[in-house]
Structure 1
Amino acid sequence: MTIRGRVYVLGDNIDTDQIIPAEYLSLVPTIPEEYRKLGSYALAGLARTPDQPPFVPPDGMTTPYTVIVAGKNFGCGSSREHAPIALGAAGTKAVVAESFARIFFRNCVATGELYPCETPTRLVGAFRTNEEVVLDLEANTLTNVTTGAVHALRPLGDAGPVIDA
């Protein structure tokens, strides 16, 4: 499977409160309207910086970013299935990170919302938000279309078919 789209770049220790703030946890993902709302609040807990566009545009329901590239310990914090669900509902297909909080990784697999892809090297500096990328889940590579650089990823192993189902 290949995922092509724009990338959103984040740093280390992005926690579940940043991914989906607690005030939105009352939304029920199995109700289609609430599922869409959950996506509109994805990464709403991030501190805004002048050089980083919002993940979901103001008054939008989805994100233009299909892949997130992050640093270490993505999805740390409290155990909430809403975190990968919110990112998936927003339209993101995969998160590529140096490492994941184990519970976030398991929630990605359990919900089937996102591919949690680990990289053996730090990629945060190799990408800029809005660049085009190609994630090849069979070849285990992430390509920066803008620069042409190809980065190796760790195989998803047995988690891949579970997420696909």
Structure 2
Amino acid sequence: MDNIIKGKAWIYGSDIDTDVIIPGKYLRTKDMQVFADHAMEGIDPEFSKKVQTGDIIVAADNFGCGSSREQAALALKYAGVGCVIAKSFGRIFFRNAINVGLPLMEADVKCNEGDEVEIDLLQGTVTVNDNVFQGNKLPDFLLEMLTEGGLVAHRKAQKNKQ
């Protein structure tokens, strides 16, 4: 994972719950392509057809609230989402995203759908149209986990170092 992420903005509001990120009827599979094909279907049925690898979701408050389904973070990751920016996250979604290697940033970003967004994970900044927004920089241990691809990859890397 790169510490600089660039992509097109997809704008969503507050209280985007895990049920709309990946509807429950798709949870019986372990096929990541199924998750990717139905990402955000509950709020934007065409999202998976439109999103490009590296694109950025920009949301308001409480993104990923609701159930503890890890599949919500997996759906976004495998759909190609490069990062999710929100004013705040559901805490379980936040941890699930880190665990599966999906970058997140808490920041209050003003932009329009389709704007080019640049995220600097090391600095905790988001740049849109020459406007720089300061976000909450992730702690170094979470950045390391993301860089290594998530919790499982991180634990394997730690084990190999020993």
Smaller-chain TM-score bracket: 0.7 to 0.9
Tell me the equivalent position of 1:150.
132
Q: 2:130, 2:66 → 1: CA distance?
A: 35
Query: Which of 58, 72, 92 is residue 81 of structure 2 equivalent to?
Result: 92
Tell me the equivalent position of 1:12.
14
TM-score normalized by the length of structure 2: 0.84
- Is 1:161 aligned with 2:144? yes
Letter in 2 for 1:69: V
The answer to whether the 8 A contact 1:16-1:76 is kept is: yes
- Is 1:35 aligned with 2:17? no
Q: 1:164, 1:26 → 2: CA distance?
A: 29
1:68 aligns to what SS in structure 2? strand
The answer to whether the 8 A contact 1:95-1:117 is kept is: yes
The answer to whether the 8 A contact 1:8-1:55 is kept is: no
- Considering fraction of residues, name the structure with more helix: 2
Q: For structure 1, which runs of at least 5 residues remain unmatched after alignment?
A: 29-33, 49-53
Q: 1:47, 1:99 → 2: CA distance?
A: 20
- Is 1:56 aligned with 2:48? yes
Q: For structure 2, which runs of at least 5 residues remain unmatched after alignment?
A: 149-162
Letter in 2 for 1:110: N
- Is 1:21 aligned with 2:18? no
Aligned CA RMSD, in angstroms, stands at: 1.5
Tell me the equivalent position of 2:118.
134
Q: 1:85, 1:40 → 2: CA distance?
A: 11
TM-score normalized by the length of structure 1: 0.82
Tell me the equivalent position of 1:110.
99
Q: 2:120, 2:47 → 1: CA distance?
A: 23
CA drift of 1:164 comes to: 1.6
TM-superposition CA deviations, 1:125-146 (whole Å, max 9, x none)? x2111111111111211111xx
Q: 1:131, 1:10 → 2: CA distance?
A: 14
- Is 1:67 aligned with 2:56? yes
TM-superposition CA deviations, 1:13-58 (whole Å, max 9, x none)? 0000010000010120xxxxx212211100000067xxxxx3222x
